Amino acid sequence: MPELPEVETVKNELLPYVIRRQVTGLNLIWKGIAHQPPAAEFCSRLIGQTIKGITRRGKYLLFSLTGEEVLIIHLRMTGSLIVGHNSTEPPQYTRAIIHLDNNTNIFFRDPRKFGLMRLVKDENTIIGKLGPEPLDASFTPEILSQRLARRTAPIKALLCDQHLIAGIGNMYADETLFSAKINPLRSGGSLSSREISHLHQSIQKILRLAIINKGASVENYYRPDGTLGTAHFEFQVAHRLSGKSCPICGTNIERITVRNRGTYFCPHCQPEI
């Protein structure tokens, strides 16, 4: 699914098209995508507002509006926001179209209909319980250590817990743990201070590289111009078929399930201590 690097890419690449543009129309092809408020009210409140800016919080996109409301979009598992024009044929699986006053359309493409749009006055009602941003200067090894202290859950599950750290999902958790040489089944509280320091470095390194490479297109993720991201070409273990060789030691990559999440790792480079 789109994780922090993909959502950050969407934010960065949408900004030139939408900043200071007015929403002139909204076509809800699938009304269920308007999660809050109901579809009719959603349209009436959004149309006519101007987009002042876009930020990202975890995996959420936040569009600040002149009416002192916030449009929050969550792409969930298969969503993409594609930029087009009034004459552009909507991509397959388009569920909503946001029309802007500069002849630009934003197509919300979502094959599995998991994506959501919300229009709220206080974004903290949706994002207030998210954990710290892993690329912020305030996210230090000490903060990570505090959040992992006494945790008995597997570190893979903890990295994917949005209340613990915002934005990391399945594939970047696998890549991060491989980079830090930590077994995904280790409990969070079992990590030494040195391991936590390495994990912190790996989180930031992996996410920053993925942003440089415009996100990973392993399934349904597209950039706003309709092209694919290339971050997945850098993956060492994530989404590799079980039995493929580890790029470091040559041992076969293994796939296990951790808290219902498919998890890839190298049993040699990431031993279970």
Strand 23-28 and strand 94-100: pairing?
A: antiparallel
∠ CA(98), CA(102), CA(104), 5° rounding?
40
- Residues 165 and 89 sit within 8 Å (Cβ to Cβ): no
> H or E stretch including 109?
strand 104-109
Query: What Cα–Cα distance (Å) separates residue 66 from each residue in 10, 13, 34, 47, 103?
Result: 21, 21, 20, 11, 20
> What whole-number distance in Å separates Cα of residue 13 and Cα of residue 155?
32
- DSSP for 110-137 reads -TTS--EEEEES-THHHHTT----TTST
Residues annotated catalytic, as ranges: 2-3, 59, 261
The side-by-side arrangement of strands in the sheet containing 104-109 is: 23-28, 94-100, 104-109, 80-85
